[in-house]
Structure 1
Amino acid sequence: MELRQLTYFLAAAETENFIRAAELCSVAQSNLSRQIAALEAELKTVLFRRVNRRVTLTPAGREFAVHARAALERLQQGQQFVSKLEAGEGGLVRLGCVQPLSTTFLPQILARFAGSYPAVKLQVRIGRTDELLRLVESGELDFALVFNPGTRSELLVVEELFRQSLQLVVSDRHPFCQLDPASLALKQVLNEPLVLLDESSRLRRIVERVLAQRGFVVEPVFEVNSVEVLKELVRQGAGVSIMPPISMRASQGQDGLALLPITDLAEEFIFALVYRNFGATPLAARELINTFVSQATRHNLD
């Protein structure tokens, strides 16, 4: 299917006359007719009823016209967006991000995007998954990076970025670091003082659920509402924590933290990108969404 075929088809649909449509498109009428016939052959359906010199859309043709107009409008918007970027103009992208990704996965991609599109303004809101889902649904955010959304809302599209299991976070001076990595079990972990996010965190609720399924009760020594505070407490030896590895990527091996696998904790949880299912997503936001999806596909984040 070619762009010119869509253009010819829509011109004929508008004028209901192949000769007039050819004049509008500055092509020979025979060429326009051939291209529309080729389009019908590709779609395996008749788009026009031909009566003498007049043509009218069939039911299939009317339905296809809706999608063809939308496709051309989207293409025109894309051309305008690129032209604005080249002219030094840009749009505004409002995105949300959960804390575990805010200091690891997010900054490197935003920096790369800003380098490619310096005229695009970025507004970033760090929050919890439930809050960010509400903000995307209401249109206050263009999209968000969230943890294990589990949403079935018809208002939202959920694109999985990657999956990770939970691991143990300890100070790099902790005795667990000397153990065989394949020998650390959950029962041993729970003999240590726990540092966890507070109960408003989706990650905390998941940790509680996973442990309850194994007959354990969560009794943290510290409850905090900040991933960075959690890291610092663990770094200082105040306790251990259970987190997805992506939360620690920027810290591991650099500032006194270590990640250790837990042999009997194999479940994987989703990090996803969510945006509205209805209404037009701004083109600058769409470009950044594509950047996140392509980077998540390209790199093995496990």
Structure 2
Amino acid sequence: MFVIPGMHMDHGWMELQQMRYAVAVAEERSFTRAAERCYVVQSALSHQIKALEQEIGIQLFARTSRRVELTPAGEAFVQASRQSLAAAERAVTDAAAATGQIRGTLTIGVIPTVTAVDVPHLLASFHAQHPAVRIALRTGGSEQFVGDIRSGRLDVAFLGLAECTPPHGVTTKELSRESLVAVLPAAHPLASSTHVTLEDLTHERFVDFPGGTAGRAQADLAFSAAGLQREVAFEAMTIDLILGLIRNGLAAALLSAHVVPADHTLSAITVQDAPRRVEYLAWNDFNPSPATTAFLDAVTLHQSQCAEHSAVPTGESPS
């Protein structure tokens, strides 16, 4: 049983498990869902929360028959509890790392358009090498991930940003740099062109990522820099939906060539003044966890192996 040293109350010790229960209730806003998440019966979880409130003499949750909300004191308690739980887990993982064991939780942010690494293959290799590490994967946007790394909600993240807007406040490793291509329906009048310009595309209806996201900024900045305007008629967060809209003749897009499949219904065309996109691996280099350090090493090894493989001439096998 873990306890917090120095947190002796009038009626006993505050346990880490009670903190876990409080965090679960706060995040789920339901005692029932929190109990399911913590794999305990609801009565046991409710009893522990009530005992905790009695021990510290503070009401953490406002309850009705239909709602559960944090009190202002509860907000402060849960925030500190998250930090205490993270510190306790870090103590165990650091002790294990001193004996050569890598364990703990590794939380990774992945944008929908990662092309510099094969993420599933990378995670499979990492898991095989470090089976005691719990991998948690999150999807979202680059700008959100930068903030999450700074606040400690993510350990590492894959980012995709316009060449002129590198990330700030996090440590990064550049993974790739490329020009976006125009993606059009195969029946489009420009589909057979060897190349186009942004001006050639100004009359198209575009599908792009939502406004304000880093994925959208890549094209927005390029059109703005060229003194051009475009119409973004559709916003989407998944590549499959973007490509589906293009296939059906509803829109055009500017995308990484690596996410465009070899498909007779689509045409990917070089853009002379195309937006430039950079992929990064980002993390916080202030006291990274052993699992984070091991993952950074795994990405470097993965890229090295991919480079060696791509350097082998067709028809030959690597030695």
Relative to the length of structure 1, the TM-score reads 0.61
Residue 163 of structure 1: aligned partner: 177
1:35-46 counterparts in 2 under 5 A?
Answer: none
Q: Rate the CA distance shift 1:199–1:115 in 2: closer, same or farther, 3 A.
A: same
Whether the 8 Å CA contact 1:94–1:143 is kept in 2: the answer is yes
Mark the CA change 1:172 to 1:106 in structure 2 (over 3 Å): closer, same or farther.
farther
User: Secondary structure at the residue paired with 2:250?
Assistant: coil
Residues 1:201 and 2:213 are matched in the alignment: yes
Distance 1:260 1:274, change over 3 A: same
Higher relative contact order (CA 8 A, sep 6+): 1
- The answer to whether the 8 Å contact 1:162/1:296 transfers is no
The whole-number CA distance in structure 2 between the counterparts of 1:161 and 1:152 is 16
Give, in whole Å, the separation in 2 of the partners of 1:297 and 1:184: 34
Unaligned 5+ segments in structure 2 are: 1-93, 311-319
**Equivalent position of 1:273 in the other structure:** 281
Label 1:134 to 1:208 Cα distance change in 2 as closer, same or farther (>3 A): same
TM-score of the pair, normalised by structure 2: 0.58
**Other structure's SS at 1:278 match:** coil
Q: Which runs of 5+ in 1 are unaligned?
A: 1-74, 85-89
Question: Structure 1 residues 98, 255: closer, same or farther in 2, change over 3 A?
Answer: farther
1:168-187 to 2 correspondence within 5 Å?
168-179=182-193, 181=194, 183-187=195-199
8 Å CA contact retained: 1:161, 1:297 = no
Identity %: 19
CA contact (8 A) 1:166 1:244 kept: yes
Cα deviation, 1:50-69, whole Å, max 9, x if unaligned, reads xxxxxxxxxxxxxxxxxxxx
Question: Which structure carries more helix by proportion?
Answer: 1
Aligned to 1:111: 124
Other-structure match for 1:152: 168
Equivalenced residues, count: 213
Q: Structure 1 counterpart of 2:235, which letter?
A: E
Distance apart, 1:164 and its partner CA: 1.3
Pick one of 122, 133, 136 that aligns with 2:146.
133
C-alpha separation between the residues in 2 aligned to 1:104 and 1:171?
27
**Alignment partners' CA distance in 1, 2:130 and 2:175:** 22
Q: What's 2:261 paired with?
A: 252
1:286 equivalent to 2:293? Answer yes
SS of equivalent to 2:208: strand
CA distance in 1, matches of 2:256, 2:267: 12
Please tell me whether the aligned partners of residues 168 and 243 of structure 1 are also in contact (alpha carbons under 8 angstroms).
yes
RMSD: 3.0
| Cα distance in structure 2, aligned partners of 1:104 and 1:255 | 26
